[in-house]
């Protein structure tokens, strides 16, 4: 009976208050009943209620009370209260009771009310609720309940409300949303409230009270899985990293917190944390040995972050791998990771079929982890690593993509250097670009491991550096003054020299007839004469067209077979420009010769590529409008100076493709306003067929030295690209329709080629077909093929591992659709007219 007494007492009192509030019109009555309700929340010595009563009110009546107040929000008595009274008595009830109940009621109210003063009132209460730290109180109260007393459903709802608060308010308030409800601010606030709760937990643990972190962990997990890990960890990670540095209790609390994160949310929490934390030490302090106890965490850290996802910064890799290496118990995992990484790196299929960015990511991870190995461990893994290195380098170096080859070279160099193979090291020649430099830099461990703000170290280090710098300066100035007496006034140092690099040796007399050049190139052994002949040949070809025509094929033949015996500066470009000039001057015989030679025996890949490049450049030159006169001297200088020999620099090739695609995209987006490129007569249109069709004829007849559909991907890719270029330049030419049909037929067989360069070439060719073929021909001639092509393009656009391929496929799809739409509209218009 005793236990019943306070219950009934409270229930009666609350019912009394409700009645008064709903019926009375006297302000005094209303105020006194509100004060009665308040008295159940007041704690402290002067409180009028007993603790039992307060507990009963919180348990059973608080939610009811708040709901009652909300349902009477439009009542006259509320409006009758003064602002101060309302804030104190009415709003105060929301802010002082158990926060979880208050939050639930507030959220419910907000989602039910339409825009009105009542809603504004609720919003302002919610705002104050957030700003007055009630969230921390909420989290902290959940920490204190070691055994959850409320139902799982209730907790689930509460969790959902906490995490979805920005969404709920934004949906209700639209543009009038308060800044503190915006995700960025709200989650920052939530993070600091979680930190407050954790801090109180630490304090409580030190005082000997048990706490439960389950609810906080759940909140963290849910926030992260909804994609707000950025702002949350931006606040939490630095703080946790600092707190755990010295305090064991904090470390325990952090470990417990992460252990309590539900499995399904573990991944997002870990990925968020690993990106926000600075350095492996901090990461290790915060998550402890979680990877050993939690399967999911282990999978995420050792597998997903390293092998499956590749969007993270290198710092994340450093953190993860450094974390695995830092502890004796975790080290086996590092070895396991290293094995997996080396297998992934060496896998020839992965080299072919995974995106380049992922390969780069794996390479970085591999180098970092190798760098972390101790020598003993290295010995243990040596044979495996060697295997991986040899196999992996082979498949990387086989690739036709330059970046992949470079990656293979750098990783091979680094691995061989680290493994110390009888003091021998691999050494490759490659251009130092940003990527290779970054990879190389991974092999030098960062000395100051944690760039965190450490007060002790932070003070000492600047002093050291400031001490060092003047001393070195002194030393250098002393050196200078020592050397000074030697140089008296007699020196010429008062003048600083100009750049004298152009001061080269003079060359001898250059030939003045093209035939002399030819003779020299055929028979001369004099390097100077050969060089001079090469230098003047292009000019002579362009100057005297008739003389050039007499010996064009012969000279082309000689040039095609000339080798750079004397390492002449700019040899390749000189040879190329001359051949281009010959092709342009005497188009049909030379193209005939070159296209025949392309498929004949006994040529190197280099020569075949040269043929393609010469043809492409010649076609480009011919396709310029006739009116635009081109002086030969300009041609010479621009060719030799501006364009480096394209063959030496395969990136150039891709850039050209991209630039062309870019220019096309522009034309498409502005298509409606801009008329299509004006058709002007050019020299290419009449001879386009001579460039194009002979190259299509023999591709499937493999020879001993040249198998286009087999191993010689590189040439195939270039061939298709060159054909695409011929097609593109043939826009408005009568032969374009035939060319387009033939080209689509040709590329159909290789559309799923393994090599991405070939695939890019194919897509470029398809683009140019759609661009250059008249749209009516597209529909009529390619009727049956179009549907299949569309399906294929859609497939590529979705699934190709190469980004360029996907982009090109999308471009082609867009172009195809546009031109089809235009054609169909035209037909409809015609039909209506008739």
Task: Give the residues lining the site for other proteins (CB under 8 A).
Answer: 490-492, 494-500, 502-506
Of 328 and 480, nearer to other proteins (C-beta) is 480
As measured in angstroms, the least distance from the Cβ of 502 to other proteins is 6
Q: How far is the CB of 388 from other proteins (least distance, A)?
A: 44
Give min distance, CB of 541 to other proteins, in A.
23
Q: How far apart are CA 14 and CA 10, in angstroms?
A: 6
According to DSSP, the residues that pair with 625 across neighbouring strands are 682
Contact status, residue 772 vs residue 735, Cβ threshold 8 Å: no
Is the CB of 460 or the CB of 637 nearer to other proteins?
637
| Shortest distance (Å) from residue 487 CB to other proteins | 10
Question: Shortest approach of other proteins to residue 531 CB, angstroms?
Answer: 16
Tokens of 421: 């193979």
How near is the Cβ of 812 to other proteins at its closest, in Å? 47
**Lookup result for tokens 């498929």:** 599
Nearer to other proteins, 84 or 489 (CB): 489
Dihedrals phi, psi of 73, to nearest 5 degrees: -65, -20
Least distance to other proteins from the beta carbon of 509, Å?
Answer: 13
How far apart are the C-alpha atoms of 63 and 268, rounded to whole Å?
34
Q: Which is nearer to other proteins, 1 or 506 (CB)?
A: 506
What is the DSSP secondary structure assignment for residue 145, as one 8-state letter? Answer: -
Contacts of 750 (CB under 8 A, 6+ apart): 709, 716, 720, 758, 762
The SS3 assignment for 682 reads strand
DSSP 8-class letter at 648: G
Q: What stretches of 82-137 adopt beta strand conformation (E)?
A: none
Q: Are 757 and 401 in contact (CB under 8 A)?
A: yes
Closest separation in Å from C-beta 718 to other proteins: 38
Residue at token pair 């597998």: 303
Q: What is the C-alpha separation between 726 and 808, in angstroms, rounded?
A: 18
Which of 2, 492 has the CB closer to other proteins?
492
Rounded distance between C-alpha atoms, residue 298 and residue 830, angstroms: 67
User: Please, are residues 106 and 172 in contact by the beta-carbon 8 Å criterion?
Assistant: no
Minimum distance from residue 504 beta carbon to other proteins (Å): 7
Q: What are phi and psi of 423, to 5 degrees?
A: 65, 15
Partners of residue 682 on adjacent β-strands:
625
Are 770 and 819 within 8 A, CB to CB? yes
> Which is nearer to other proteins, 28 or 503 (by Cβ)?
503
CB of 489 to other proteins, least distance (A): 9
Query: Smallest distance, Å, CB 617 to other proteins?
Result: 30
Could you tell me if residue 420 is left (phi over 0), alpha (psi between -120 and 50 degrees) or otherwise beta?
left
Nearer to other proteins by Cβ, of 329 and 493: the residue is 493
What is the nearest approach in angstroms of other proteins to the Cβ of residue 510?
Answer: 14
Residues near 113 by beta carbon (within 8 Å), at least 6 away in sequence: 119, 122, 172
Compute the least distance from the CB of residue 496 to other proteins, in Å: 4
Q: Which residues contact 705 (CB under 8 A, 6 or more apart)?
A: 601, 602, 603
Nearer to other proteins, 434 or 490 (CB): 490
Give the nearest distance from C-beta 524 to other proteins in angstroms. 23
The contacts of residue 809 (CB under 8 Å, 6+ apart) are 763, 793, 794, 796, 797, 800
- Least CB distance to other proteins at residue 501 (A): 8
Closest CA to 708 of 758, 657, 748: 758
What are 599's two structure tokens? 């498929």
Q: Which is nearer to other proteins, 23 or 501 (CB)?
A: 501
Nearer to other proteins, 500 or 677 (CB): 500
Which residue, 494 or 648, has its beta carbon nearer to other proteins?
Answer: 494
- Looking at the Cβ atoms of 107 and 532, the one nearer to other proteins is 532
Structure tokens at 703: 């020879």
Q: Residue 505 or residue 648: which is nearer to other proteins going by CB?
A: 505
The nearer residue to other proteins, 498 or 546, going by C-beta atoms, is 498
Nearer to other proteins, 464 or 492 (CB): 492
The encoded tokens of residue 598 equal 């392309």
Closer CB to other proteins, 424 or 496, in the complex: 496
State the minimum distance, in angstroms, from the CB of residue 564 to other proteins: 24
Nearest approach in angstroms of CB 486 to other proteins is 12
d(CA 318, CA 5): 64
Contact 73, 45 (CB under 8 A): no
Tell me whether residue 345 is exposed, middle or buried, using C-beta atoms within 10 angstroms of its C-beta: 0 to 12, 13 to 18, 19 or more.
buried
Closest by CA to 557, choosing from 504, 521, 511, 601, is 521
Q: Where are the beta strands (DSSP E) in 516-654?
A: none
Closest among 537, 533, 513, 509 to 523, alpha carbons compared? 533
DSSP code, position 743: H
CB 425 within 8 A of CB 415: no
H runs (alpha helix) in 40-116: 51-56, 62-71, 76-80, 83-85, 92-96, 99-112
Exposed, middle or buried, 372 (CB in 10 Å: 0-12/13-18/19+)?
A: buried
Q: Are 538 and 578 in contact (CB under 8 A)?
A: yes
Nearer to other proteins, 375 or 492 (CB): 492
């Amino acid at each position: 009976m005793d236990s019943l007494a306070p219950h009934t007492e409270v229930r009666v009192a609350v019912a009394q208050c409700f009645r008064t509030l709903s019926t009375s019109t006297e302000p005094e009555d209303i105020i006194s009943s509100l004060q009665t309700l308040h008295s159940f929340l007041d704690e402290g010595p002067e409180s009028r209620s007993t603790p039992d009563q307060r507990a009963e009110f919180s348990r059973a009546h608080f939610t009811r009370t708040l709901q009652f107040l909300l349902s009477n929000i439009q009542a006259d008595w509320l409006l009758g209260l003064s602002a101060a009274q309302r804030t104190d008595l009415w709003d105060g009830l929301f802010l002082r009771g158990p926060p979880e109940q208050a939050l639930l009621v507030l959220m419910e109210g907000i989602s039910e009310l339409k825009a009105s003063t009542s809603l504004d009132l609720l919003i302002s209460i919610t705002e104050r609720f957030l700003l007055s730290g009630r969230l921390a109180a909420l989290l902290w109260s959940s920490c204190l309940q070691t055994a959850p007393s409320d139902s799982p459903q209730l907790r689930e709802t509460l969790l959902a409300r906490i995490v979805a608060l920005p969404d709920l308010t934004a949906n209700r308030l639209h543009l009038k949303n308060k800044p503190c409800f915006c995700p960025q601010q709200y989650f920052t606030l939530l993070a600091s409230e979680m930190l407050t709760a954790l801090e109180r937990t630490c304090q409580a643990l030190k005082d000997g009270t048990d706490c439960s972190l389950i609810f906080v962990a759940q909140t963290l997990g849910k926030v992260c899985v909804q994609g707000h890990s950025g702002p949350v960890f931006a606040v939490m990670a630095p703080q946790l990293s600092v707190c755990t540095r010295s305090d064991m209790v904090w470390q325990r609390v952090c470990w417990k917190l992460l252990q309590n994160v539900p499995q399904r949310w573990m991944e997002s929490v870990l990925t968020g944390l690993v990106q926000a934390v600075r350095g492996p030490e901090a990461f290790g302090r915060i998550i402890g040995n979680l990877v050993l106890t939690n399967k999911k965490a282990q999978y995420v850290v050792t597998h997903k972050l390293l092998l499956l996802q590749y969007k993270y910064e290198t710092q994340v890799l450093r953190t993860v791998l450094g974390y695995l290496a830092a502890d004796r118990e975790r080290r086996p995992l590092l070895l396991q990771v290293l094995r997996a990484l080396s297998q992934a790196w060496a896998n020839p299929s992965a080299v072919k079929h995974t995106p380049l960015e992922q390969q780069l990511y794996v390479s970085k991870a591999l180098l970092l982890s190798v760098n972390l190995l101790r020598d003993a461990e290295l010995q243990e893994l040596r044979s495996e690593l060697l295997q991986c290195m040899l196999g992996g380098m082979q498949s990387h170096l086989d690739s036709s993509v330059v970046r992949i080859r470079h990656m293979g070279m750098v990783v091979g160099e680094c691995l061989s250097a680290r493994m110390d193979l009888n003091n021998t090291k691999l050494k490759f020649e490659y251009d130092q670009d940003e990527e290779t430099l970054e990879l190389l830099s991974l092999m030098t461990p960062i000395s100051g491991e944690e760039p965190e703000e450490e007060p002790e170290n932070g003070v000492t280090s600047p002093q050291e550096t400031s001490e060092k710098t003047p001393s070195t300066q002194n030393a250098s100035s002393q050196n200078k003054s020592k050397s000074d007496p030697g140089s008296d006034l007699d020196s010429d140092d008062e003048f600083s020299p100009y750049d004298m690099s152009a001061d080269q040796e003079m060359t001898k007399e250059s030939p003045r007839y093209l035939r002399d050049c030819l003779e020299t190139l055929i028979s001369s052994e004099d390097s100077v004469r050969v060089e001079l002949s090469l230098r003047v040949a292009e000019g002579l070809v362009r100057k005297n067209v008739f003389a050039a025509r007499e010996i064009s094929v012969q000279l082309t033949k000689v040039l095609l077979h000339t080798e750079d015996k004397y390492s002449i500066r700019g040899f390749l470009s000189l040879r190329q420009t001359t051949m281009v000039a010959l092709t342009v001057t005497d188009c049909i015989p030379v193209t005939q010769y070159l296209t025949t030679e392309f498929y004949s025996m006994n040529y190197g890949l280099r020569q075949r590529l040269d043929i393609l490049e010469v043809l492409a450049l010649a076609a480009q030159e011919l396709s310029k409008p006739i009116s635009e006169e081109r002086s030969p001297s300009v041609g010479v200088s621009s060719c030799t100076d501006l364009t480096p020999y394209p063959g030496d620099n395969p990136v150039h090739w891709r850039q050209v493709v991209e630039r062309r695609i870019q220019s096309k995209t522009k034309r498409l987006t502005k298509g409606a306003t801009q008329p299509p490129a004006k058709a002007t007569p050019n020299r290419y249109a009449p001879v386009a067929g001579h460039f194009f069709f002979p190259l299509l004829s023999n591709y499937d007849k493999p020879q001993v030295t040249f198998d286009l559909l087999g191993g010689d991907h590189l040439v195939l890719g270039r061939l298709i690209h060159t054909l695409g270029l011929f097609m593109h330049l043939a826009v408005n030419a009568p032969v374009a329709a035939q060319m387009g049909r033939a080209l689509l037929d040709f590329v159909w067989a290789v559309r799923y080629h393994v090599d991405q360069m070939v695939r890019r070439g194919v897509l470029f060719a398809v683009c140019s077909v759609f661009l250059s073929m008249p749209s009516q021909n597209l529909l009529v001639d390619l009727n049956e093929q179009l549907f299949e092509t569309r399906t294929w393009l859609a497939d590529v656009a979705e699934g190709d591992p190469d980004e360029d391929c996907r982009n090109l496929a999308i471009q082609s799809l867009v172009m195809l659709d546009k031109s089809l739409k235009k054609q169909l509209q035209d037909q409809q218009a015609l039909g209506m007219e008739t």
